[in-house]
Amino acid sequence: MRRLEGKTALVTGASRGVGALVAEALAREGASLWLHARTVANCAQTLARVKALGATAQVVEGELDDPAQVESLGAVVLAAGGVDILYNNAGVMAQWSPSGLHAREEWVRNLQINFLAPMRLCELLVPGMRERGWGRVVNVTTGMEKQLELVPYSAAKAALDKYTSELAHAAIADGVVVNLLDPGWLRTDLGGPNAPNAPDSVLPGALVPVLFGNDGPFGTLVRAQEHAQG
C-alpha cells in the first residue's frame, strides 16, 4: 500500500543529496511532487527519477537567498492549490572561520536560506493545510554543536528549531503535524567528503515524521540515523 496516495508534497533543495532521496521516497509512497531547485535544469535528473517511479511531478525554481524569489516560489505552489506536505530540506553551510568571526554578509546569507526562507514557506503553505485539516511539515535541522567556526549555520538552524516548536503547537489542533529532522552528518555537498554516513542512510528515517498520525508526535526531533538500516 502506498501511504501517501492523493497527497502533494513540496521538497526544497530536491536537485541532489537528501532532497533528491526524500523526493524519491515520497514518490514511492504515492505522493505527487513539487521539486524545488535553484533552476529547473538543476532538477532534471530528480524529475526523471520520480516520474519513472510513477509520480506526477514538476519543478519550481527559486534562489532562497532572495526573499522575492521565495515569495514567488510559494505563490506558484499556492496558485496550483497548495500542498499537503512541506519538506524544508534546502540549506547552505557557513564558510569555515578559524577565528570564529564571520562577516555580516555570512550571517545574513545563513539566516535567510536556513531560517527565513523555510519559515516563510511555512507561513505561506501551512494555512491551507490547516483549512483542509491535514498536513505534514518537516524542517531539516542539525545536530551540530560546539563549532564556533561554523556558528552562522547552527545559529540559523537553532532559530528554525524554535520556530518549528511554536508552529507545531499551534497547528496540531488542525491536523497539521510539524517536526524537525536531523539527517545526521552525511557525505553530501553540504556535509563534505569526511562525513561518517552515506547519503542514503537518511532513509527510512527521513520519512518517519511525514508518516506520523494526526495526533503526532509533534514539535519533536527525529534523528534519521536512529532509523538507518544495515
For cell 508552529, the residue is: 167
Q: Is 163 a catalytic residue?
A: no
Between β-strands 32-37 and 57-61, what pairing exists: parallel, antiparallel or unpaired? parallel
Nearest-angstrom CA–CA distance, 76 and 82: 9
Nearest-angstrom CA–CA distance, 45 and 26: 16
Q: Which of 34, 87, 153, 163 does the annotation list as catalytic?
A: 153
Catalytic positions are 153
